Amino acid sequence: MKILSSLRGKTKVNRSVWGNVLLFLFLGVFGCYMALPLVYSINNAFKPLDELFLFPPRFFVRNPTMSNFSDLFHLLSNTWVPFLRYAFNTVFITMAGTIGHVLLASAAAYPLAKHKFRGTKILFSVIVLALMFSPHVTAIPNYMVIGKLGWIDTYWAIIIPAFAFPLGLYLMKQFMEQIPDALLEAAKIDGANEYRIFWTIVMPLVKPAWLTLTILLFQLLWGTDGGTMIYSENLKTLNYALGQIVAGGIARAGAGAAVALLLMSVPILLFIFTQSKIIQTMATSGMKE
Amino acid sequence: MARTRLTQNQRKGRMGILFLAPWLIGFILLFALPIGESLRYSLSQLEMTTEGMSMNFIGFDNFQAAFTQHPSYNRVLTEAVIDMVVNVPLIIFFSLFSATLLNQKFRGRGLARAIFFLPVILASGALLGVEGGDILQNVMQSANSQQGDSMSLLKSFELERMLIESGANESIVSYLTDAVNRIYEIISRSGVQILIFLAGLQSISPSLYEAAKIEGATGYEAFWKITFPMISPLILTNVIYTVIDAFSSSQMTVLIQDTAFRTFQFGLSSAMSWIYFLCISIILFIMYSLISRKVFYYD
């Protein structure tokens, strides 16, 4: 691996140094531009109330304070449903939905990509069509289906639809299609059955894909507020609970800034974590032809 | 020989269906059924009564109403479609470019990637609801809704006025300022695409680059002869994803939602979204057939 990376390092030397400087300058400028909202909300979370309402607003905090956070925890300790319950709801929904979706989508994508049978093509175009459908249109029928299944006001109303989300299947199929057939054939000749091939060859090879999918789904489910499907207060999500705090108005602006920082830090941390886990997979490296 | 082959094929098919089944059941119940229902809604008049909803079949009246009676439907539709056609190539280009850069080894790479993914997290809507009425929200929203919001920090009104006053051709000026105004939109919409490209770049085997290096290829050649073909299936993927993403976050969706849940014209709203859906399908079909001819599969 080390040799490879040094080799790749050398490719860069071939290119002109100034070209590199320009490229990274470009990256830096856009990166800063995109990081602005994050820096701004981090600063906001530590601003005392008088600085939050300063006009014109100041970008950086002058007198950082932790009072926003202590306000927030004070508010949370007085809620009717314990705060931990909201946190548990969100974590449970997010974890179950993400893991289930990634597993089901990969399992379904494997035959679609690598074992073409009759109807594969039609099935796949149906998936792409489903991707294009605005969720608002299907909101009412969706509610009715879930109602008939008796899942209204349970976690399943959010978790199970996440399983069937078409995006994941689509992505996984595209990635699995790039695995050379020869690898799978070799495994089959060596006597591996389909489950074995799926778990020990296909899934490790598309690791970047399913880690990416994990981030996407996590991000999506983390932001859910239960919407129309969940009524019971003790099943509501963190996002909803924190939104209620902010709805308290101007007096809660400090706590609101703290809430925003807390809510967005989890997906960002997960993102950095999973990205560090993605390493070069070698789908095409085992080939000798 | 022929017989064993047939049975194996059958077994393969059965195995495939077994792998597919859990997802398929969920999909039919939770996506296919609702979509079918919405088609039925679009062809009928829905009314809320005390016993629930009543539905009368009225044929294509809803579709006609969307085009001929609704005050803004036609305008919003054309705007949404034009927007999409302009944005998609720009987003693909930008995200492929950024992904190639972010795939290089350098210090703080993880952080840089996170920063480029940030807009996706920030725009997820959940945070916008929480972040009560401040600048961040205004910036994000104006970028999302593409409206010339006066609160927006990133628009180029002044530039446009100055250029027009200095006597430049008006259509050129408006194209330029439009492009400038799009920058934020394009960057903030590229997060997922960058991520997908990154995953794709990481599945390219380094041995290919190694071989090219030994043969004396330059970095530029390596990009066009190795990276580009190897990533081409994902360009197709990303084009489709971008179209769909633009689809679900455009003004059109807001209009459809408002028609359904503010004015309670469910039939009209379903009809609107079916028209929009057909437009997008046509665009997608054209793009798909154009690109998939160039896509390269390693085999």
Type of residue found at A225: D
Q: Which of A137, A215, A217 would you mutate first to test chain B, the one with the most B CBs within 10 A?
A: A137
Q: Tell me: the pLDDT tens digits for A13-69?
A: 445 677 778 777 877 777 777 777 777 778 877 888 777 776 666 677 777 888 888
User: Is A38–B113 a contact, with Cβ atoms under 8 angstroms apart?
Assistant: no
A227 to chain B: closest CA residue:
B126
pLDDT at A56: 66
> How many degrees, rounded to 5, is the angle at CA B52 between CA B48 and CA B55?
65
**8 Å CB contact between A173 and A109:** yes
CATH superfamily for A76-277 is: MetI-like (1.10.3720.10)
pLDDT at B159: 56
Residue A93 has pLDDT above 80, yes or no: yes
Residue A136 has pLDDT above 70, yes or no: no
**CB < 8 Å & 24+ apart, contacts of A59-65:** none
Residue A216 with chain B: CB contacts under 8 Å: 192, 195
Q: Tell me: the pLDDT tens digits for B15-40?
A: 777 777 777 787 777 777 777 777 77
Q: What are phi and psi of B106, to 5 degrees?
A: -155, 165
Residue B110 with chain A: CB contacts under 8 Å: 272, 275-276
Highest average pLDDT, of A1-10, B59-68, B223-232, B237-246, comes from: B223-232
B172 vs chain A: nearest CA distance in angstroms? 25
Q: Tell me: the pLDDT tens digits for A236-255?
A: 777 777 777 766 666 677 77
Q: Tell me: the pLDDT tens digits for B198-238?
A: 888 887 878 888 888 898 888 788 888 888 888 888 888 88
Residue A83 has pLDDT above 60, yes or no: yes
> Model pTM?
0.74
Choice between B174 and A283, residue whose per-residue pLDDT is larger: B174
User: Is A268–B114 a contact, with Cβ atoms under 8 angstroms apart?
Assistant: yes
Of A34, A206, A281, the CB nearest to B115: A34
Tell me which residue of A77, A76, A86, A90 sits closest to A256, measured CA to CA: A76
B176 vs chain A: nearest CA distance in angstroms? 19
Choice between A283 and B234, residue whose per-residue pLDDT is larger: B234
A274 vs chain B: nearest CA distance in angstroms? 10
Given CATH 1.10.3720.10, say whether it is the number of domain B44-292.
Answer: yes
User: Is B127–A128 a contact, with Cβ atoms under 8 angstroms apart?
Assistant: no
The mean per-residue pLDDT over the stretch A124-146 comes to 72
Least-confidence region, from A137-141, A181-185, A233-237, B72-76? A137-141
Cα torsion for B77, B89, B242, B115, to the nearest 10°? Answer: -120
A263 to chain B: closest CA residue:
B127
Residue A256 with chain B: CB contacts under 8 Å: 130-132
pLDDT at B140: 47
User: Is A37–B136 a contact, with Cβ atoms under 8 angstroms apart?
Assistant: yes
Choice between A201 and B249, residue whose per-residue pLDDT is larger: A201
Residue B136 has pLDDT above 50, yes or no: no
**For chain B, percent of residues with pLDDT exceeding 90:** 0
The ipTM, to two decimals, is 0.72
CA distance A35 to A14: 31
Of A41, A138, A280, the CB nearest to B38: A138
Tell me which residue of A179, A201, A180 sits closest to A190, measured CA to CA: A201
* Tokens representing residue B28 in the block: 């039919």
Q: What are phi and psi of A239, to 5 degrees?
A: -60, -45
- A-B interface: how many C-beta pairs under 8 angstroms? 312
Which residues, including other chains, have CB under 8 Å from residue B217's CB and lie 6 or more apart? B225
pLDDT at A67: 81
Of A35, A134, A239, the CB nearest to B248: A134
Average pLDDT, whole number, for chain B? 73
Of A15, A33, A37, the CB nearest to B140: A37
User: Is A220–B124 a contact, with Cβ atoms under 8 angstroms apart?
Assistant: yes
Residue A161 has pLDDT above 50, yes or no: yes
Choice between A180 and A138, residue whose per-residue pLDDT is larger: A180
Residue B129 binned pLDDT confidence (cut-offs 50, 70, 90): very low
Residue B179 binned pLDDT confidence (cut-offs 50, 70, 90): low
CA distance A80 to A143: 28
Of B20, B33, B130, the CB nearest to A141: B33
The mean per-residue pLDDT over the stretch B116-139 comes to 55
User: Is A280–B35 a contact, with Cβ atoms under 8 angstroms apart?
Assistant: no
Residue B287 has pLDDT above 70, yes or no: yes
Residue A265 has pLDDT above 50, yes or no: yes
Of A35, A115, A137, the CB nearest to B118: A35
Average pLDDT, whole number, for chain A? 77
Domain boundaries, chain A: 76-277
Residue A129 with chain B: CB contacts under 8 Å: 281
Q: What are the start-end ranges of the H helices in B28-108?
A: 33-42, 61-68, 73-102
pLDDT at A99: 92
Residue A117 with chain B: CB contacts under 8 Å: 9, 12-13, 16-17
Residue A96 binned pLDDT confidence (cut-offs 50, 70, 90): very high
Q: Which of A18, A21, A33, A134 would you mutate first to test chain B, the one with the most B CBs within 10 A?
A: A134
A113 to chain B: closest CA residue:
B16
Residue B218 with chain A: CB contacts under 8 Å: 14-15
pLDDT at A13: 46
B278 vs chain A: nearest CA distance in angstroms? 10
Least-confidence region, from A165-174, A277-286, B170-179? A277-286
**8 Å CB contact between A224 and A162:** no
Residue B50 binned pLDDT confidence (cut-offs 50, 70, 90): low
State the CB neighbour count (10 A cutoff) for residue A202.
Answer: 24
Q: Tell me: the pLDDT tens digits for A117-130?
A: 777 788 887 777 77
Choice between B248 and A92, residue whose per-residue pLDDT is larger: A92
Residue B123 binned pLDDT confidence (cut-offs 50, 70, 90): low
CA distances from A10 to A6, A63, A284, B227, B232 (A): 6, 48, 22, 17, 25
